[in-house]
Amino acid sequence: MGDGATLSLARQLIERRSVTPDDAGCLDLIGKRLATLGFKLERIDSGGVSNLWARRGSAAPLLCFAGHTDVVPSGPPERWAFDPFQATEHDGHLHGRGAADMKSSLAAFVVACERFVHMHPRHHGSLALLLTSDEEGDAIHGTVKVVEALKARNELIDYCVVGEPTSAKRFGDTIKNGRRGSLSAKLVVKGVQGHVAYPEQVKNPVHLAAPALAVLAGTIWDEGNEYFPPTSFQISNAHAGTGATNVVPGTFEILFNFRFSTASTPDELKSRVEKILAYHKLDYDIVWTLGGKPFLTRPGKLVAALKESIEAHADVSTELSTTGGTSDGRFIADICPEVVEFGPINATIHKVDERIALSDLEPLAHIYQGVMKRLLT
């Protein structure tokens, strides 16, 4: 459990080809180490996805570390400087798919638990890990299923640290204390198809929809708040037509998305959109998909413990941020009042030659261990 323990485990995890949703044995590797510490292991697998809930202790408060074993595909391996599934140390970095997102965090979780339990075998409260192989994919059989199982038996979490790579320019500089929600829609505006030479016989849905889309694009949905920027509306796809230049299309399909803050609710956004569509007298169908609600953890015990630990082991003053996409924190927030994310520098995640600085590995484990000490002793 000395220096190099985090590197050793990170290497083992990287060399398992756990392309989403395949766990490739990562949870078995982690589970064996946790079991020797007295963790009770529970597999909550679902839909071909591997999920592990591991808990040590039964008392409150419950501190959980959450993450995922799955990684995105590497793409053509010949574009990488090194085999993406052969952990390689080069020029002060550990290279490999998942090095930053987020197998190094998983290794740091486990090593931190080993060190903490060794030093505090009778610690207060309980310690847990919630791990899945379905974060980078559809995220419908992973963390959300574990949360549903825990909620059903009223097993709630007090504090949760998600090991996502949050650091921006310098290791330790950013904690994510919330994330925006994601609300998507498929809008189909109906018209009447026909020949372009006979405009009196057609209803062009593109022409009909254009004024409404302009209003949607120009609407200020909210002003955000002290933690979140204003809600953003973006059209991601628009399609109409048969491919011919002399045919007016019968329908116009638009895909759009809201990234919204706690200043708006999904129902409010839906209602405002549908009022705009109705005002423009459109004949339409719309299907909504809520990808995740926003969550926010205001400064409290967890944020304070993590900031103090970062400053002690990374010698940097960290900042709170809610930028970026969604994470599994959105599911955990349903059973946990304080959820934050913290992990390595994110500059190379999902990219060719993903890597983490070797010098950041042990401090990462020490930071997680410091949170345990501050909250459970």
**Cα–Cα dist 165/348, whole Å:** 10
Phi, psi angles (nearest 5°) of residue 146: -65, -45
Q: Which residue reads 């599934």 in tokens?
A: 85
135 belongs to the catalytic site: yes
Closest C-alpha among 20, 30, 26, 111 to residue 72: 20
Q: Which residue reads 């909550």 in tokens?
A: 44
- Cβ-based neighbours of 162, under 8 Å, separated by 6 or more: 65, 66, 67, 176, 327, 328, 329, 332, 339, 340, 341, 342
Q: Is 316 exposed, middle or buried (0-12, 13-18, 19+ CB in 10 A)?
A: middle
Q: Per the structure block, which two tokens stand in for 277? A: 């569509």
Phi, psi angles (nearest 5°) of residue 346: -100, 15
120 labelled ligand-binding = no
Pairing of strands 284-292, 126-132: unpaired
User: Measured over all CA atoms, what is the biggest interatomic distance in the chain, rounded to whole angstroms?
Assistant: 83
124 labelled ligand-binding = no
- Residue of 135, 338, 341, 360 marked catalytic: 135
267 belongs to the catalytic site: no
78 labelled ligand-binding = no
**Cα–Cα dist 347/171, whole Å:** 11
CA atoms within 13 A on the CB side of 317: 0
H or E stretch at 253:
strand 251-260
**Cα–Cα dist 89/181, whole Å:** 37
* Residues annotated within a binding site: 68, 101, 136, 164, 350
* Residues annotated within a binding site for Zn(2+): 68, 101, 136, 164, 350
Residues identified as active-site: 70, 135
